Chains A and B, each alone.
Chain A
């Protein structure tokens, strides 16, 4: 005999079970597949890399010969990544990117009235990074689009102009984006979609003349496939 209280409890349990199963199916429809490989383009925004002055020793203090201010110009590049779904919500990603930015050092305030000038060099930047990505299913848009948040860290390898000198640096980033599933199927290739994300990236060292942290925006778009 089933008492009313037990009936209520069983009903609640069943309802929760249905809700969980329903949520899992919804997740599967959006995210289906455990491994995701993507490739696309990225754009890294401008970043100020600080200033430095050429100074000489004076009888009392320093004497400025001229001043410099260095910027990392915005540049476009390519990016590829591999993600592994750990849970329906959580993914781990490894990515690499290549960009060819320009370093601009503006020179001004020359003590002997040398004309202001900008000294530049182009360099090659390779980066590898790891990130944790969280799919935010509750903010899902329709049945195909899932927002996500991500955060990670990486290593920079930058080659100065002519590949004459290599320097290393670190990156840290956080941001978010959206994945849109274009097609899904219950086969080996479980889905194809597009992804867009925006990150705030903090970089340290590399071609920068100082060891401070410098922030820049990064926007990326890519095509992904799931297995």
Chain B
């Protein structure tokens, strides 16, 4: 078993993340969005829970304005939101209040506050305990940084981060999802970023304090959790798009490929995840899609990839595929090639 830090939700003005190892199965295309993974004996394994329901505990400590019971209720609503996805089978169960703290290796998935003033741009973080033979998740702890001000008010509170919103993002990680790049940011003078828009709860940078727009899952999140834990008729009622992103005949690594369905406005995305530029997106609604490709320039690269291992291609222009790609019901579009040109 090994403990791995998989994510930290960042405050809007982050300049650069501190240590963060979002692990991605990079030797083969993953299906839809980023799924967390580890490499075991040279083989990529997707991190996921193998036993349901996923039990979680809540620490018995609160912060000003958020009591332990407020905390339990807010994270409970966030768990319920993920569990309510009709096409996903993941289930969670509140197991009780504990005096343990997040990050204790006790075999219990624990959510709670920790005071981490040193992580002055990290709102919350999810750590995993992983079975190194199977990739199965054994424990996942989420800490919320009590150095920030938190709120559980129904309408949010100015100057305070909405606990339910941030919990929703972290529970996505706890479930095995990586970051989505469906979001837009502006660079700040200090090198940090401000989010102008996002269409995925799993976007790595939070909206400004006081905002509660992130309490609902988006199409990309739903596709992701359903792909990890498919249930019901998910596989037969949705489809996928796969193919390659190339530039001058060579594969492009780390290109952000977005599929837009004009019939329902849904945006689902993934990355080209190997040197051949291969990508694949599952959980798409049947019908024609617009395909847009962009360089990964709206968040720090290490929010998505292990940049010590891979070089992400950024030197190309935003492009649209000149054909509508039809997603069949319960099948794949067939390989497509998206050619991009240098900036």
Looking across the interface, which residue of chain A has its beta carbon closest to that of B267?
Answer: A54
A164 touches B324 (CB 8 A): no
Taking the nearest CB of chain B, how far is it from the CB of A68, in angstroms? 5
Instruction: Pick the 4 closest A-B CB pairs, nearest first.
Output: A63-B197, A114-B318, A56-B197, A56-B199
A13 interfacial contact with B, CB 8 Å = no
A120 touches B324 (CB 8 A): yes
Q: A62-B197, A66-B260, A118-B322 are in contact. List 10 more A-B contacts (CB 8 A).
A: A55-B265, A59-B211, A114-B294, A114-B317, A121-B323, A161-B324, A162-B334, A164-B328, A164-B334, A165-B287
Taking the nearest CB of chain B, how far is it from the CB of A203, in angstroms? 15
Looking across the interface, which residue of chain B has its beta carbon closest to that of A69?
Answer: B262
A121→B260 CA distance, assembly (Å): 15
Taking the nearest CB of chain A, how far is it from the CB of B13, in angstroms? 15
B81 interfacial contact with A, CB 8 Å = no
Could you name 17 residue pairs across A and B whose Cβ atoms are closer than 8 Å? A54-B290, A57-B198, A58-B196, A62-B197, A65-B267, A70-B262, A105-B290, A112-B294, A115-B320, A119-B288, A119-B321, A121-B326, A160-B288, A164-B326, A165-B286, A165-B329, A210-B263
Looking across the interface, which residue of chain A has its beta carbon closest to that of B264?
Answer: A209
Looking across the interface, which residue of chain B has its beta carbon closest to that of A103?
Answer: B324
Q: Give the contacting residue for B322; candidates A53, A65, A120; CB below 8 A.
A: A120
Given A112-B294, A114-B319: A52 touches B182 (CB 8 Å cut-off): no
Interface string of A33-54 (1 = CB under 8 A from B): 0000000000000000000111
Interface residues on B, range: 35 or more
Given A57-B197, A120-B323: A165 touches B328 (CB 8 Å cut-off): yes
Looking across the interface, which residue of chain A has its beta carbon closest to that of B211?
Answer: A59
Taking the nearest CB of chain A, how far is it from the CB of B171, in angstroms? 19
Interface string of A104-127 (1 = CB under 8 A from B): 010100111111011111000000
Given the complex, which residues of A lie within 8 Å of B223, measured CB to CB? none
Looking across the interface, which residue of chain B has its beta carbon closest to that of A113?
Answer: B318
Taking the nearest CB of chain B, how far is it from the CB of A152, in angstroms? 27
A57→B198 CA distance, assembly (Å): 5
Q: Give the contacting residue for A164; candidates B208, B319, B333; CB below 8 A.
A: B333
B184 interfacial contact with A, CB 8 Å = yes
A63 touches B294 (CB 8 A): no
Looking across the interface, which residue of chain B has its beta carbon closest to that of A57?
Answer: B213
B44 interfacial contact with A, CB 8 Å = no
A192→B213 CA distance, assembly (Å): 69
Given the complex, which residues of A lie within 8 Å of B76, measured CB to CB? none
Looking across the interface, which residue of chain B has its beta carbon closest to that of A63?
Answer: B197
Given the complex, which residues of A lie within 8 Å of B199, measured CB to CB? 55-57
Given the complex, which residues of A lie within 8 Å of B267, measured CB to CB? 54, 56, 65
A209 touches B262 (CB 8 A): yes
Interface string of B201-224 (1 = CB under 8 A from A): 000000110010110001000000
Given A59-B211, A160-B326, A162-B334: A110 touches B318 (CB 8 Å cut-off): yes
Given the complex, which residues of B lie within 8 Å of A121, measured CB to CB? 288, 323-324, 326
> Which residues of A, 134-161, contact B by the 8 Å Cβ criterion?
160-161
A105 touches B213 (CB 8 A): no
Given the complex, which residues of B lie within 8 Å of A52, measured CB to CB? 262-263, 265
Given the complex, which residues of B lie within 8 Å of A105, measured CB to CB? 262, 288, 290, 324
B62 interfacial contact with A, CB 8 Å = no
Given A66-B292, A119-B321: A56 touches B184 (CB 8 Å cut-off): yes
A112→B319 CA distance, assembly (Å): 10
> Which residues of A, 47-93, contact B by the 8 Å Cβ criterion?
52-59, 62-63, 65-66, 68, 70
Given A160-B326, A165-B329: A115 touches B317 (CB 8 Å cut-off): yes
> Which residues of B, 77-123, contact A by the 8 Å Cβ criterion?
none
Looking across the interface, which residue of chain A has its beta carbon closest to that of B328?
Answer: A164
B327 interfacial contact with A, CB 8 Å = yes
Interface centre among A57, A58, A63 (most CB of B within 10 A): A57
B331 interfacial contact with A, CB 8 Å = yes
B183 interfacial contact with A, CB 8 Å = yes
A114 touches B292 (CB 8 A): yes
Interface centre among B184, B198, B262, B328 (most CB of A within 10 A): B262
A162→B318 CA distance, assembly (Å): 27
B263 touches A209 (CB 8 A): yes
Looking across the interface, which residue of chain A has its beta carbon closest to that of B212?
Answer: A59
Given the complex, which residues of A lie within 8 Å of B321, measured CB to CB? 117, 119
B198 touches A119 (CB 8 A): no
Q: Give the contacting residue for A162; candidates B214, B260, B326; CB below 8 A.
A: B326
B294 touches A119 (CB 8 A): no
Given the complex, which residues of A lie within 8 Å of B211, measured CB to CB? 59
A118→B322 CA distance, assembly (Å): 6
Given the complex, which residues of B lie within 8 Å of A54, measured CB to CB? 258, 260, 265, 267, 290, 292
A24→B194 CA distance, assembly (Å): 82
